[in-house]
Structure 1
């Protein structure tokens, strides 16, 4: 069963938007006296990121409201080609001291996909169809804020066609949202689903998995110099984490070095108490506290008596480090089970 068929069957009428490779950004805007305004931004983890985005200082002329809270994806734009740039390049702003200089080299556009609050009214419990109408009446066209394009459909063919158009445009695929769904803070849940083309580029699964790095294995050969040759990945299970795969491919030399550096800050001499059901044959050379989240893809999911999740990712590849996500936002066992069933394995 294809991902598109499953989405339409379970969700009915859906709103389909491009899936951007960016940084989640919640924008808080309020007008002040004397034609001034205040704007602040927050990450997915509610970290104040206002200083990262000097572009937001120009959005006053685009807002038709006294006070709003918008949800958006901050996406870096190549000034020469006008095309979007990879997530990892956008997030380097967090490590840059001269953000104003960096913003001139890699300007950012904010693709706004939802509105949570407007002029004293909380909107999160309103259905998406209503929020979308309010959003389009609130944000004027401009260069900094762009309301995400979308289609409304019940058709598998239309959904698949839109998805392929986004891939050709250089985006990650599509976001599929139940048209009458409420806004769900934190995780997307079953009303917001990623439809990503992973075959060839990152794998064959129709979605990726956000996993926690539980530890790593020492490298051999060329990777001896990196200090790491593979890592153990886990997903959420209750208030703990269980293994789902061991990743040793799909990682550039520079990314191996960055992984080793980041994991080094969270190394543990013993197995962290939050880790469950780790068999001896998977115990890493170095344990790590559950702090670093990475996005992985693979060919498919299989039942696994070895991994604590009960499933394993076959031919896993590292897509990127998710500095914008906390361990509690990692994919859960229930979500992986749903992905497995969506492959058409529900009775196996």
Structure 2
């Protein structure tokens, strides 16, 4: 990584419903790992929490050859495309592999793509204070499209229609971004708004309830962080395959503890096993009940790129 390029935490968005505005552009919300690419004489890719992802995705090691105006920092998303649509499950199967030989093999069998949607540094200088619209034009000029890198496309003004079109083809959602907005590192701003077709949020696993019959894992116990304490959000017992069930139990057994990190409601659990609040998972759901429980939750996968303390009540879509 170039010593002249600072480590930057990505700008974040607030939740929103579809809307039209000539002050905003609208682009696909890509379902992958948020990442910043530092491109100079080599490629370095850092997660939103500044973890180095470079070695996990060797097929992206030459992104620096696809851009001009180096040194450059690009904001984007690492995705695995399956028939043109991002597959988070396939991406996750890549993300959890650490063996070098397996990583190289999987990089050819299930290749990842970097979807670039912003440029923060160009020619070694920050352009984060420039309006988004100008940064987007710079991004188009400096990136050469290929199988390893694509520039995210967008439309102006027609957010409701674009959201509906994205929903019809089965994508996760839309990002609305104000045209004149600067890039605010590490901050959540209403200049960027995420419009989800499927409600989804990250939660911390606080334990699991034992299953019945052949299922050893009945459900995961979920909590969210609120003002220094963990709040119970409900259980999720669907969405994981048999292989995922086995993998989860292996990981969960390594972080078992004697007591729950929240105050369990009497009668809520049959045979719970508590764990330390260190594992983050993403869950799809329809809505929250009046008492703050997830309705119709479905497990989506572990998120190694998220910290437990980021899983706050405020981030859960009401």
Residue 264 of structure 1, CA deviation: 1.8
Structure having the larger proportion of residues in helix: 1
Decide which of 97, 100, 112 is 2:100's aligned counterpart: 97
Please point out which of 146, 150, 175 is paired with 1:146: 150
Which of 29, 47, 65 matches 2:39?
Answer: 29
Seen in structure 2, the aligned counterparts of structure 1 residues 85 and 137 have a Cα distance that, compared at 3 Å, is: closer
Q: CA deviation at 1:281?
A: 3.8
Structure 1 residues 64 and 315: alpha-carbon distance in aligned structure 2, compared to 1, 3 A threshold? same
How far apart in 2 are the matches of 1:69 and 1:137?
14
What's 1:234 paired with?
A: 223
Over 3 Å counting, the alpha-carbon distance change for 1:126 and 1:245 in structure 2 is: farther
Aligned to 1:8: 19
Change (3 A) 1:175 1:57: same
Whether contact under 8 Å (1:216, 1:287) holds in the other structure is: yes
Q: Deviations 1:64-120 (Å, cap 9, x if unpaired)?
A: 212011111112235xxx534522222323414322222111222211011222223
The aligned residue for residue 296 of structure 1 is 283
Superposition TM-score, scaled by structure 2 size: 0.83
Whole-Å separation in 2 of the counterparts to 1:144 and 1:303? 45
Between 165-174 and 318-327, the greater mean CA deviation after superposition: 165-174
Q: Could you give the per-residue CA deviations for residues 2-24 of structure 1, whole angstroms, max 9, x where no partner exists?
A: xx984538x87322111222222
Q: Tell me the equivalent position of 1:261.
A: 250
Distance 1:162 1:147, change over 3 A: same
Q: In the comparison of the two structures, how many residue pairs are matched?
A: 301
d(CA) in 2 for partners of 1:8, 1:318 = 29
After superposition, the Cα gap between the structure-2 partners of 1:179 and 1:287, relative to the gap in structure 1 and judged at 3 Å, is farther
Q: Which runs of 5+ in 2 are unaligned?
A: 1-14
2:307 maps to 326
**Superposition pairs of residues 125-164 of structure 1, within 5 angstroms:** 125-153=129-157, 158-164=158-164
**Structure 1 residues 218 and 185, CA gap change in structure 2 (3 angstroms):** farther
TM-score by length of 1: 0.77
Once residues 53 and 66 of structure 1 are traced to their aligned partners in structure 2, the CA distance between those partners, rounded to angstroms, is 21
Give CA-to-partner distance per residue, 1:130-172, whole Å, 9 cap, x none.
322332232233332211011121xxxx323322333454532
For 2:166, the equivalent position in structure 1 comes to 166
Q: 1:257 to 1:5 in 2, by over 3 A?
A: closer
SS of alignment partner, residue 174 of structure 1: strand
CA–CA distance in 1 between the matches of 2:267 and 2:191? 38
| 1:55-74 alignment, distance < 5 Å | 55-74=59-78
Q: CA deviation at 1:186?
A: 4.5
Q: Which residue in 2 is equivalent to 1:34?
A: none
Partner of 2:88: 87
Provide structure 1 residue ranges, at least 5 long, that are not aligned to the other structure.
Answer: 31-36, 199-206, 305-310, 341-348
Q: Contact 1:216 / 1:285 at 8 angstroms: preserved in 2?
A: yes
Q: What are the within-5 Å matches in structure 2 for residues 172-187 of structure 1?
A: 172-186=172-186
Larger relative strand fraction: 2
Asked if 1:49 corresponds to 2:35, the answer is no
Aligned partner of residue 137 in structure 1, secondary structure: helix
1:270 correspondence with 2:259: yes
Q: Given that residues 75 and 111 in structure 1 are in contact (C-alpha distance below 8 angstroms), is that contact kept between their aligned partners in structure 2? A: yes
CA contact (8 A) 2:18 2:160 kept: no
- Conserved 8 A contact 1:163-1:174: yes
Distance across 2 between alignment mates of 1:21 and 1:234: 23
CA distance in 1, matches of 2:17, 2:306: 27
